[in-house]
A = this chain, B = another copy of it.
C-alpha cells in the first residue's frame, strides 16, 4: 500500500494509525512509508530493517534531521481511528494519534511539500521505540549507519503539546541488597533481619532532597525513588535478604559517571549494583539552529523530564529537541486522542521554518 503524502495531515495521520504497527510488527507501515517517500522522487531513500531514512542532497550549508518512531504500544480496542467534534474542535481518537503518528504525519508532509528546503533535510522513521532499549531502531541506525543520521540539529516529533521540550534527563537504576541471617521467628534474636536493614535505605530516600537544576535556561527536576522492594520467604522466618531497586532521574548537567558518583555518596557504605543506565541530553537551545527554531515556534521552551531518543542524537553530538503535537500524558492511555487543530499548527510551524 502507498500513502498519499500530499493528502491533508489529518487524513494522513488517520491512514498511518489505521496500519496497526505495534512494536515488532512495523514491516507493513515501514513498507508503506518507504514506497511513499520513493514515489516523491526528490529524496534519497535508505532502509535498515524496518527503519526508513530519506534525505535531500542539495548541498546546503546545514542539515536538519526530523525523526519519529513508527511503532505504538498495544492496541486496546482503540483502532481504527475515529473523530468527534468538528472544525476547530475536532478531535482524532485512537492508538498512535498522540504517540506518535501525528508527529510522523507532519514530518512526512514536509517531505512531500517542501522539496527545496533552505537546509538539507533528513527524515528518520524507525521501529521498536516502545520496547526494550536494545531493540530500538534508532539505536540500531546509530550502530549500523551513523552517517545516515548526520546533521546539525534534530527535531524528534514526540508529543510535546506543540512546545519545544529541550534535552532529556538521564536515568539510572541501582540495586541495593541487604544481607541478614535467617532464624526462626520465635527466636528472632538468633537472626539478623534484612528487611529491617532496608529501613535505613528508605530513610535515606525519605531524607533526600532532589535537585532542581537550570541547564541551558531550562529547569529540570530530578528524582530518586525506590521502584521495587522485596524480602522475606515465609511467615515464621527472619528474612536473610532484602532487595531494593532505586531509580535515579538526573538532570543533563550530569553524565552517567557523575550520577553514579552522586549515588555512591548518597548511599555511602552500601554496595550499588547498576542494573540500567541511560545518559540524558542537554537541551542545546543555545545552538544557532535550535535558537532559530525556538523563535519560529514562538512559545517558551520546557524541559523534558522523561528519557527520550533525543539522547541518542546528543550522544552523536547533534543538538536535539522534542517537538510534536499532542499531550504526552495521554500517550499509552486507552483514551489517546489528539486535537486536529494542534496537528495542523505543528505542520504549519515546521513547514514555515523549513521551507
Contacts and interface: CB of A to CB of B under 8 A. Distances in A.
A239 B231 contact: no
A245 interface: yes
Contacts of A231: 226, 228-230
A89 to B, nearest CB: 28
Given A235-B276, A306-B187, A225 B193 contact: yes
A232 B231 CA distance: 12
A195 B224 CA distance: 12
A206 B239 CA distance: 14
A72 interface: no
A236 interface: yes
A313 interface: no
Contact of A198 (B169, B202, B232, B235): B202
Contact of A238 (B198, B221, B227): B227
Interface residues of A, number: 47
Given A184-B306, A185-B249, A199-B205, A227 B236 contact: yes
Contacts of A228: 195, 231-233, 235, 239
Q: Is the interface of A mostly helix, strand, loop or mixed?
A: mixed
Interface string A293-310: 000000000000111000
Contact of A227 (B198, B200, B230, B235): B235
Contacts of A117: none
Given A198-B202, A206-B196, A239 B223 contact: no
Contacts of A1: none
Interface in A142-196: 169, 171, 173, 184-189, 193, 195-196
A187 B249 CA distance: 9
A186 B202 contact: no
A228 B238 CA distance: 9
Interface string A262-301: 0000000000000110000000000000000000000000
Contact of A189 (B223, B226, B307): B223
A198 B186 CA distance: 23
27 contacts: A169-B186, A173-B235, A186-B249, A186-B306, A186-B307, A188-B249, A193-B225, A193-B226, A195-B202, A195-B225, A195-B227, A198-B202, A198-B229, A199-B202, A199-B205, A203-B203, A226-B232, A226-B239, A227-B232, A227-B239, A228-B232, A229-B230, A229-B231, A229-B239, A235-B245, A235-B247, A235-B275
Given A226-B232, A228-B233, A235-B245, 8 more contacts: A171-B236, A186-B249, A187-B223, A189-B223, A198-B202, A198-B229, A225-B238, A228-B239
